[in-house]
Amino acid sequence: MLVVAGSASPKLSARVAKQFKCQLVRPTLWRFPDGELYTRIPTELNGEHALVVQSTCYPQNDNLVELCFLLGAAKDLGAERVTAIVPYLAYARQDKQFKPGEAISIRTVCKLIEHAGADDFITVDVHQEEVTRNFSIPAYNLTAMPLLGRYLNGLKLKNPVVIGADRGASERAKQIALEMGVEYDHLEKQRVTPEKVVTQPKRLSVANRDVVIVDDIISTGGTIIEAAKILRRQHARGIYPACTHPVLAGKALQRIRAAGIKQVIATDTIEHRVSAVSVAPLIANVIH
């Protein structure tokens, strides 16, 4: 077995290779004068199981093309099996036509990965589980929530409660809460009078408690900042946003900090300075 390190996931690739005590191959990558990408895997792969690790975070299109080139090159080198490990799968949120004529982007992305040479596919906390049905090869969606829960346990939070940022994040909140052995809930719009709708935790009180807000992705930070405002109005103590994928587009982290949130907890599906939790053990476990 060998790990081929895509340029978007150098640290995670090294961590996965360490899990298997196997060789880490860093491909040769450079740009032609016109901007096209040159890709070469400079090692023998004949009969090997090649794990190609490449997140499709920003710049999504470049990282996707590199992933496809690496999968094809690994296949051409005679790898017996090529596993595409795409910890953050770009375009997963464009999984249907919201308006006629829109591209179902994720469907095409999945086809590209499969046709490029992947024999199987692994991702983490994809936005909608159904996305894996776009593949005809075996495709696995892992969850980092228990790993995040274990990390949060180490923070010694005061009477913590885990709150999903919306109904969609409720299952994720449950998985973290189970690991922490605490209560969970999610934010929901509720009609309190015929004229008034408020967003608040569906069942639980957060007053004087440390609150972990969970989402799969933090992108602009808008969802988390809004959730934090609501929870503060409900007298929450500390606010701890936790997510799998720290997309953190543009000045998102500064905006989150300006909103009085000191710490964001995320994984290395996207390598960022807030990536405190590695998904390498998760990936190793499913491959084992």
Q: Annotated catalytic, 251?
A: no
Q: Tell the smallest beta-carbon distance from residue 76 to ligand R5P (Å).
A: 36
**Rounded Cα gap, residues 228 and 128, in angstroms:** 24
Task: Tell me which of 123, 223, 269, 278 binds ligand R5P, using CB under 6 A.
Answer: 223
Q: What mask, x for binding ligand R5P by CB under 6 A, covers residues 138 to 157? A: --------------------
Cβ proximity to ligand R5P, 183 vs 216, nearer residue = 216
Round to whole Å and give the CA distance between 107 and 94.
9
From residue 41 to residue 80, the character string flagging contacts with ligand R5P as x (rule: CB under 6 A) and all else as - is ----------------------------------------
Among 60, 128, 199, 219, interactor with ligand R5P by CB under 6 A: 219
Q: Which amino acid is at 197?
A: V
* DSSP 3-state of 201: strand
Q: Is 194 exposed, middle or buried (0-12, 13-18, 19+ CB in 10 A)?
A: exposed
Q: Which 3 state secondary structure label does DSSP give 141?
A: strand
- Binding segment (CB under 6 A) for ligand R5P, from list 117-125, 153-161, 217-225, 261-269: 217-225
> Taking the complex as a whole, how short is the minimal distance between the CB of residue 228 and ligand R5P, in angstroms?
12
CA distances in angstroms from 92 to 50, 79, 152, listed in the order given:
24, 28, 27
Amino acid in position 128: Q
CA pair distance 117, 139, nearest whole angstrom:
14
Give yes or no for residue 218 binding ligand R5P (CB under 6 A): yes
Applying CB under 6 A, the span of 30-38, 70-78, 192-200, 219-227 interacting with ligand R5P comes to 219-227
- CA R_g for the chain: 20
Residue type, 44: E
DSSP SS3 for 232? helix
Residue 178 has phi, psi (to 5 degrees) of -60, -40
Residue 176 main-chain phi, psi, to 5 deg: -70, -45
For ligand R5P, which is the closer residue by CB, 160 or 221? 221
Q: Based on CB atoms, which residue is closest to ligand R5P, 3 or 256?
A: 256
**Is 221 a binder of ligand R5P (CB under 6 A)?**
yes
Question: Applying CB under 6 A, which of residues 215, 236, 239, 270 lies at the interface with ligand R5P?
Answer: 215
* Active-site option among 189, 202, 229, 251: 189
Minimum CB separation of residue 220 from ligand R5P in Å reads 3
Residues that bind ligand R5P (CB under 6 A): 165, 168, 215-223
